[in-house]
Amino acid sequence: MKRALALALASAVAFGAATAQAQEKITVWFTKAFYPSEDKALQDAIAKFKAKTGVDVELSLFSPEDIVTKSVSAVEAGTPPDVGFGLTYDFRVTGKWAFEGKLEDITDVIEPLKAQYLEGPLSTTLLMNGKTGKKAYYAAPVELQLMHINYWVDMLQDAGFQESDVPEDWKGFWDFWCDKVQGALRKKGQRVFGVGHPASIQASDTVYSFHMYMNAYNVKVVDDDGKLLLDQGDNKANFAKAIGDYASVVSRGCSPASSVNWGDVDNNLNFANKTTVLTHNATISIAAAQMDAMNKAENTAEQRATAKTNYFEKIRTRAFPNKPDGGKTPQLAAVKTAVIFADAKNKKRAKEFLAFFLTEENLQPYVEGSLGRWVPVTRKAIEAPFWTDGKDPHRAQVIKQLNEGTVYFPFTKNWKFTVVNAENVWGRATARVAKEGVKPDVAAEDAIKRIKEILAQ
């Protein structure tokens, strides 16, 4: 009797322990993917993690905007999820949260994985904690985006030109699309524009594109310690040149007048509608949308065939032209970050999950699930057939640009530039020149003044 009672008690304890383990969970918030293949890769990784650890993952997916607003509210309330991944965390909150001590130091997660990462993306997540006065890894690189130019090959040909006619020098390149291509198509009665040029205050595309112009003009915004350099010597003069050059695409009528009011989707839509021959975009989403359309079973055979022709034959992806001084224009990259919050309820398991998700076998399928929209941050993934088999012209160009070297936004050195971006000080400066006729040097002076005010806050 005593032995039976002991066995029953032991069984109950074991059952209770197993139940407790099964009930252990972490909360994870992710940006909802643009394509089902991304979400499936995430769900597959979660299922494998649960099978391995017995830990349940309570996953919530949010739009790119909602995940930021909800995360900010949760952090302020002291009730964040354990793990968060937002596509615009890097632009808006990661550096700020790290500085304020609201992120968990995940150096112990990153160090064992360090060898798999490309050096550049990893460097952007070594962030300053204002409370400790020291830098540490407060975020993990998941994927990155690069700046590309897309154009319609058939529209170029309709204007009477071949791809070999496109100049590579800075001024010649933009004049070619603005004057020659647009001019030729207008003479044929087509109400089209040579360039789709994001130029609004509200569009993040304006921030991204204008930074490419600053790169082209060798503008150094900050030093490696985040100290402002924009107000000094050649940086200040070249900043004004970049503003004037950027604004001129709109003011001279090469881009639709509405581009000063575009949202982030509008340059894509104008391009897809063939209102514009060329546009610049911070991912290859323009091409990826065609791939998505050609793979959708619900589309008609004709729709799929049209999308396939667009993807492989009619739409071209390329890098920006050479700088005004003749050198290569540096490729601007933004690294998308995952974090664990300082107020997370289950940091131990959160770190286990993040480390598991970041391994090549899980991270690579997730990034590839974006159909090339997002770019790998690991050495092995950029060499995978998905990118290098030569069958995909757009992905091949992405990797070519990545291998030519990247530079990163000022906010990776000084988090207060996330506030500068949020106000779109850059877009305000170019809009004043394009819409109001303000002189570029005046717009530059005023922009620098505002940037200094933000940095002093």
Write the secondary structure of 306-359 as one string of H (helix), E (strand) and C (coil): HHHHHHHHHEEEECCCCCCCCCCCCEEEEEEEEEEECCCCCHHHHHHHHHHHHC
Sorted by sequence, the CB contacts under 8 Å of residue 239 that are 6+ apart come out as 214, 217, 219, 230, 444, 447, 448
Which pLDDT score is estimated for 85?
A: 98
pLDDT score of 176: 98
Give me the pLDDT at residue 23, please: 59
Task: Render each residue's pLDDT in the chain as its tens digit; 457 residues.
Answer: 444 434 443 443 343 444 444 459 999 999 999 889 999 999 999 999 999 999 999 999 999 989 999 999 999 999 999 999 999 999 999 999 999 999 999 999 999 999 999 999 999 999 999 999 999 999 999 999 999 999 999 999 999 999 999 999 999 999 999 999 999 999 999 999 999 999 999 888 999 999 999 999 999 999 999 999 999 999 999 999 999 999 999 999 999 999 999 998 999 999 999 999 999 999 999 999 999 999 898 999 999 999 999 999 999 999 999 999 999 999 999 999 999 999 999 999 999 999 999 999 999 999 999 999 999 999 999 999 999 999 999 999 999 999 998 999 999 999 999 999 989 999 999 999 999 999 999 999 999 999 999 999 9
**pTM listed for this prediction:** 0.91
Domain boundaries, the chain: 25-138+334-399, 148-330+410-456
Residue 184 tokens, joined: 């030729």
Given this chain, do its domains 25-138+334-399 and 148-330+410-456 carry the same CATH topology? yes
Is 142:336 a contact under the CB 8 Å cutoff? yes
pLDDT of residue 5: 38
Q: Determine contact, residues 146/282, Cβ cutoff 8 Å.
A: yes
Q: Confirm or reject CATH 3.40.50.300 for domain 148-330+410-456, answering yes or no.
A: no
Residue-level pLDDT at 11: 43
Burial of 454 per CB tally in 10 Å (0-12, 13-18, 19+): middle
Considering only CA atoms, which of 70, 50, 49, 72 is closest in space to residue 60? 70
3 state DSSP class of 379: coil
pLDDT of residue 13: 38
Core vs surface per residue 223-252: b (16+ CB within 10 A) or e:
eeebebebeeeebbebbbbbbbbbbbbbbe
Which pairing describes strands 83-86 and 331-340: parallel, antiparallel, or unpaired? Answer: antiparallel
For residues 314 and 218, give the distance between their C-alpha atoms in angstroms, rounded to a whole number.
33
What is the model's pLDDT at position 10? 43
Q: Which CATH class is domain 25-138+334-399?
A: alpha beta
Task: Output the pLDDT for position 8.
Answer: 40
Is residue 406 within a helix (H) or strand (E), and if so which, with residue range?
Answer: strand 406-408
Tabulate helix, strand, coil % of the chain (nearest 5): 55, 15, 30
